[in-house]
Amino acid sequence: MSSIRSNPEGLSVLDRPNSYIGKTVPRPNLDRLLQGRGCYVSDIELPRMAHVVFVRSPHAHAKIVSIDAAAARQMPGVNAIVTGKELAAVITPWVGVLSHLKGLKSAPQSAIAVDRVCWQGEAVAAVVATSRAAAEDAAECVAVEYQALEAVTDMRTALDPATPVIHASLGDNLAFERILDAGAVDQAFAGSDAVVEAEFVFGRHTGVTLEPRSVVADWNAAEARLTIYQGTQAPHMVQNIAALHLGLWEQQVRVVCKDVGGSFGIKVHIYADEMATYALTKLLRRPIKFVADRVESFNTDIHARDHRCKGKIGVNRDGIITAFEIDDLTGIGPYSMYPRTSAIEANQVVNLVGGPYTCKNYRARARVVFQNKNVMCQYRAVGHPIACSVTEGLVDLAAMKIGMDPVEIRRRNLIADDAYPCASPSGLRFEQLSHHASLAKIVEMMNYQALRAEQAELRKRGVHRGIGVASFIEVTNPSAAFYGVGGAKISSQDGVAVRLDAQGSVICQTSITEQGQGSESLTAQIVGSALGVSMDRVRVILGDTDATPYGGGTWASRGAGIGGEAALQATKILRRNILDVAAAILQSAPAELDIVDNAVVSAGDGAPRIDLSELARIVYFRPDTLPPGIQPELMATRHFVPREYPFAFTNGVQAASVEVDIDTGFVKLLKHWVVEDCGTIVNPQLVDEQIRGGVVQGLGAALFEKCVYDEKGQLTNANMADYLVPMSGEMPDIDVGHVVSPTRESELGAKGAGEAGAAGAAAAVTNAVNDALKPFGTTITEIPLTPQVILTALGRI
């Protein structure tokens, strides 16, 4: 394990005089966004720009017999109508597999369907016109003749011999299977005082970003360059893929990512309609805009979490957990998503189940099957909510079985805070976690004993409250182990360049991106702190492959931990370079100087020596006055990627207090608590709001959100009235506390915080609801916990 790197200046960045690290400071982009001066893709208007609307399949599975666009071509404002076959001339198909996910298979997917559609909503033709409205008018006139094919919809029968195989070339509907067997599971179950089993069912849901997916693609034939304006989390990944499939060099593709209205993992993938838009601009030689509407978003934005997972836990009377076993099944739609694949979620479930606990006996099977539904892929906290709900649901069932308090059983099984480094049965390596400190803290924050007393008192009066607890671990700061080792050109390293401008301000270019979580702010905070300049003198540039270093972007809770460390290291070099020049100008030694508040000062007494603006003036305009042999370098670049640990695991615990109306099945969320440990906290408010935002998405999963498909593969609630996103009116207060165990892989010590909230919220609520229902002898292991589900479980209807 690496130790804290020695600091050439002998100054820890965290205790510098004007440090912004660890402070809640306003985000630099706030005024711009609040004054309506943000620039989202739909704000971009280019000369000669046309709009594309996709004719989408109404069938889940069908042969395309014919496409008659003659009438539509005559409609006012129509530029072109392009089919999948025609588009194939400019863009090649792709297959979403990764070599480290052994056995994962998928079929070639085209930008626009050719001959066959595999889910309701897949594009069959592109209509390009002068406005979105004109394109929609024409799209209604494109006559597509389909021959319906049998749709594979139920994941439980997808592998049956009688079920049609969606892609004949693959032989069956099994995309991926993973089996893990650690310790001595059978022996452990046999020797347990009690064994409990349950099947956990999760509703398929989706991310519902406020701003839908949008692209403006502009092929400049004269320059032979493609510019893609897109709300994406990974500009360099988009650059690589667009170039690869359009037959271009990466340097011929520029990806510009301006403001993004939420992403949550939805915008980290390569979608067929976006690829089609890149191809259309090349084919038609004019800028093309695609902005998904809400119905399209529901039908084509990736879905997630559609799992059925059988779980089994062994426990002894003293509360010690003896073994975990799971059998997970998930249906991912007709293709594995490109390029991150749709096997990662199930793979994560296998990795993470039982993760917080000392138990070494663990067996798992996960199967990933194809179906004729929209594609599933990575969405905030990939796999974590499944793994956490299964694990924590089983732990509560075990506690109930032996009559032990849910907090107590966790106390007896969580990995000890001084047991690190250590590894999980699935091979995950933990550098330093703080399960016990976190549990102790949350018990205190929620006043657990008092809540239990109140619960007992109210129960006598027919009021049914429940308390639920869920410990969790979270994957953050991924190294190349996530995607790179599997052959995907998705960078796990990030780069930052910082330079002093001619007035002594700092320009910082970073490869991480901003989608609202505060990447821009945390970068400026780190640069300002490390250099000794005020934040308003730091300008951060992100989201442009022409203007930033090469890097991964913002996903998998990596922005602060990886991009932040690159910013810190780059700034330290710049600082050293500035002090070298200052020493030359001042005839001093770098070690005797420091930078505080935009000026070089004496390290000893803080006396001002030279303003950065004056230093910059000399360097840029009067270099002739510098001593001979001095060539100032007021720009520095550093990259960073974790190397010791494949992932920086974080941990935490969530708790929920709920009230169940046993006559109506309605659940009222009374309060929610989270304690998490993301290491060094750069900006407490940003971290807390990341946690709260994630919790709200988890609460959505617990109570509201579900993509409802019928047996024919039709998504029946693809609108904001029927697909229930969590809204503020139903949300409880969410108290957030922290334990801080910095990672020693970086000097900054920051791990990720973006997904912890989503990881454990549903588990805590489900456990709370089951706690409330305890007097009725029923347990529910299905989410969302709708009134219908609860009333049914209670036998009321």
Applying CB under 8 A, the residues found at the interface with another protein are: 132-133, 136-137, 140, 293-295, 461-464, 661-666, 704, 708, 716-717, 719, 721-722, 724, 726-727, 729-730, 786-788, 791, 796-797
Rounded to a whole number of angstroms, the minimum distance from the CB of residue 724 to another protein is 6
Rounded to a whole number of angstroms, the minimum distance from the CB of residue 99 to another protein is 41
Cβ closest to another protein, residue 140 vs residue 150? 140
Please answer whether residues 496 and 549 qualify as being in contact, where contact means their C-beta atoms are separated by less than 8 angstroms: yes
Please answer whether residues 142 and 72 qualify as being in contact, where contact means their C-beta atoms are separated by less than 8 angstroms: yes
Cβ closest to another protein, residue 125 vs residue 242? 125
**Closest alpha carbon to 170 in 152, 143, 189, 186:** 152
**Strand duo 225-230 + 214-220: pairing:** antiparallel
Q: For residue 436, give the DSSP letter.
A: H
**Residue 594 three-state SS:** strand
Rounded to a whole number of angstroms, the minimum distance from the CB of residue 130 to another protein is 13
Residue with tokens 């194809």: 370
| Structural Rg of the chain based on CA atoms | 28
Rounded to a whole number of angstroms, the minimum distance from the CB of residue 446 to another protein is 23
Rounded to a whole number of angstroms, the minimum distance from the CB of residue 45 to another protein is 17
Please answer whether residues 389 and 770 qualify as being in contact, where contact means their C-beta atoms are separated by less than 8 angstroms: no
Burial class, 247, CB count within 10 angstroms (exposed 0-12 / middle 13-18 / buried 19+): exposed
One-letter amino acid of 510: T
Nearest-angstrom CA–CA distance, 165 and 369: 11
Rounded to a whole number of angstroms, the minimum distance from the CB of residue 731 to another protein is 10
Cβ closest to another protein, residue 662 vs residue 763? 662
Nearest-angstrom CA–CA distance, 98 and 158: 22
Beta-carbon contacts of 788 under 8 Å, excluding residues fewer than 6 positions away, are 665, 797
Cβ closest to another protein, residue 20 vs residue 202? 202
Cβ closest to another protein, residue 507 vs residue 724? 724
Residue with tokens 């505080």: 596
**Strand duo 733-738 + 667-677: pairing:** parallel
Q: What is the 3-state secondary structure (H, E, C) of 533-549?
A: CCHHHEEEECCECCCCC
Cβ closest to another protein, residue 245 vs residue 706? 706
- Report how far Cα 219 is from the mean position of its chain's Cα atoms: 30
- In 8-71, DSSP assigns E strands to 50-56, 62-68
**Closest alpha carbon to 371 in 60, 755, 781, 31:** 60
- Number of Cα atoms under 13 Å in the Cβ half of residue 10: 6
Cβ closest to another protein, residue 208 vs residue 488? 208
Residue with tokens 């998504």: 715
Rounded to a whole number of angstroms, the minimum distance from the CB of residue 779 to another protein is 20
Rounded to a whole number of angstroms, the minimum distance from the CB of residue 727 to another protein is 5
Please answer whether residues 514 and 28 qualify as being in contact, where contact means their C-beta atoms are separated by less than 8 angstroms: no
Please answer whether residues 120 and 58 qualify as being in contact, where contact means their C-beta atoms are separated by less than 8 angstroms: yes
Cβ closest to another protein, residue 9 vs residue 771? 771
Cβ closest to another protein, residue 140 vs residue 197? 140
Rounded to a whole number of angstroms, the minimum distance from the CB of residue 723 to another protein is 9
> Nearest 5°: CA angle at 683, between 680 and 687?
80
| Entry field: residues in the chain | 797
Cβ closest to another protein, residue 189 vs residue 709? 709
Cβ closest to another protein, residue 445 vs residue 724? 724
Residue with tokens 């290491």: 679
Rounded to a whole number of angstroms, the minimum distance from the CB of residue 794 to another protein is 11
Rounded to a whole number of angstroms, the minimum distance from the CB of residue 151 to another protein is 20
Rounded to a whole number of angstroms, the minimum distance from the CB of residue 544 to another protein is 30
End-to-end CA distance of the chain: 58
Rounded to a whole number of angstroms, the minimum distance from the CB of residue 729 to another protein is 3
Rounded to a whole number of angstroms, the minimum distance from the CB of residue 661 to another protein is 5
What are the two backbone dihedrals, phi and then psi, of residue 241, each rounded to the nearest 5 degrees? -70, -40
Cβ closest to another protein, residue 536 vs residue 722? 722
Nearest-angstrom CA–CA distance, 381 and 697: 10
Please answer whether residues 195 and 292 qualify as being in contact, where contact means their C-beta atoms are separated by less than 8 angstroms: no
- Number of Cα atoms under 13 Å in the Cβ half of residue 512: 35
Cβ closest to another protein, residue 627 vs residue 729? 729
Rounded to a whole number of angstroms, the minimum distance from the CB of residue 357 to another protein is 35
Rounded to a whole number of angstroms, the minimum distance from the CB of residue 202 to another protein is 17
Longest Cα–Cα distance in the chain: 90
Nearest-angstrom CA–CA distance, 764 and 512: 32
Rounded to a whole number of angstroms, the minimum distance from the CB of residue 373 to another protein is 17
Cβ closest to another protein, residue 295 vs residue 445? 295
Nearest-angstrom CA–CA distance, 63 and 149: 7
Cβ closest to another protein, residue 628 vs residue 795? 795
Cβ closest to another protein, residue 77 vs residue 183? 77
Cβ closest to another protein, residue 199 vs residue 663? 663
For the beta carbon of residue 614, count every other beta carbon within 10 angstroms: 16
Buried b (16+ CB within 10 A) or exposed e, 147-186: eebebbbebeebbeeebebbbeeeebbbbbbbebebbebe
Cβ closest to another protein, residue 485 vs residue 791? 791
Nearest-angstrom CA–CA distance, 236 and 553: 8
Rounded to a whole number of angstroms, the minimum distance from the CB of residue 53 to another protein is 9
Q: What is the 3-state secondary structure (H, E, C) of 625-673?
A: HCCCCCCCCCEEEEEECCCCCCCEEEEEEEEEEEEECCCCCCEEEEEEE
**Strand duo 194-202 + 782-783: pairing:** parallel
